[in-house]
Amino acid sequence: MSASDRERLIATVADVLDGVGHVAVGASSPIPAAGAMLRRALDERRGRAVRISILGSARHNFFTNGSAELFDCAAQGRIDAFFLGGGQIDGEGNINLVGAGDYPRSSPRWPGSFGSGLLYYVVPRVILFREEHSPRVFVDKVDFVSAAGTSAPGVHRTGGPYALVTGLARFRFDRERRRFVLSEIHPEHGLDDIRDRTGFEFDCAQDLRATPEPDKETLALIRGRVFDELADAYPQFVEMLRGSE
């Protein structure tokens, strides 16, 4: 059986994480968490250890003081990758977690910035993730900058956007040009579709390709070990995915 859209996303996230030593995933992020678990499983087969910290998981989180330890660990340079999303994301990698429209009368209002500003500055590989790919999410300019994608020259910054993964495509981020570069388009979608649903301008990679399907071995890992591990923090999500197989 072929991979579902979400299983393909899990495999894409795992591919973006290739080469990391420690990846942390915040709460309410089942697909990034599954991608991190898949990366760990794949690397174990290569004899390489990957440490993952899934906030909200009893089995896959070595922090004992929640987010406080996460921030300390990141500031010390001991987290290689983290995931951020936003109600709005613009072409320079700025994210908005506050609300749409003029602040403070924004409507709708979103959960707030929390630690996104710190993590965006200190984690080397920040992956932006939104399953929804639409002009209301991917805008020309965010209404409120919760965390800036880039900084002025001379500002010391070890972190920033590395990639953007959505339900339609995968982009990498060119930090020098402050611009996203489309590198993969998920099956059944085309370049015109991506342009129509993206509110900011982007470049296309010379080797732009269709997102590859997970091979049989990877798909078996996702549906077996990864779903078993993911059920610790997201039992209903895993039940839904398994019901769609």
In b/e form, how buried is each residue of 98-121, taking b as 16+ CB within 10 angstroms? Answer: bbbeeeeebeeebeebebbebbbb
Helix (H) or strand (E) holding 62: none
Distance between CA 51 and CA 12 in Å, rounded?
19
What is the pairing mode between strands 22-25 and 81-84? parallel
In the chain, what percentage of residues exceed pLDDT 70? Answer: 98
Predicted model pTM: 0.95
pLDDT at 245: 62
Tell me the domain boundaries of the chain: 1-83+215-245, 85-118+128-214
Residues 132-186: tens digit of each pLDDT: 999 999 999 999 999 999 999 999 999 999 999 999 999 999 999 999 999 999 9
Distance between CA 140 and CA 122 in Å, rounded?
25
pLDDT exceeds cutoff 70 at 213: yes
Distance between CA 132 and CA 23 in Å, rounded?
23
- Are the CB atoms for 162 and 8 separated by under 8 Å? no
Helix (H) or strand (E) holding 73: helix 67-75
Domain 85-118+128-214 superfamily per CATH: Glutaconate Coenzyme A-transferase (3.40.1080.10)
Q: What is the dihedral of CA 139, 140, 142, 148, to 10 degrees?
A: 110
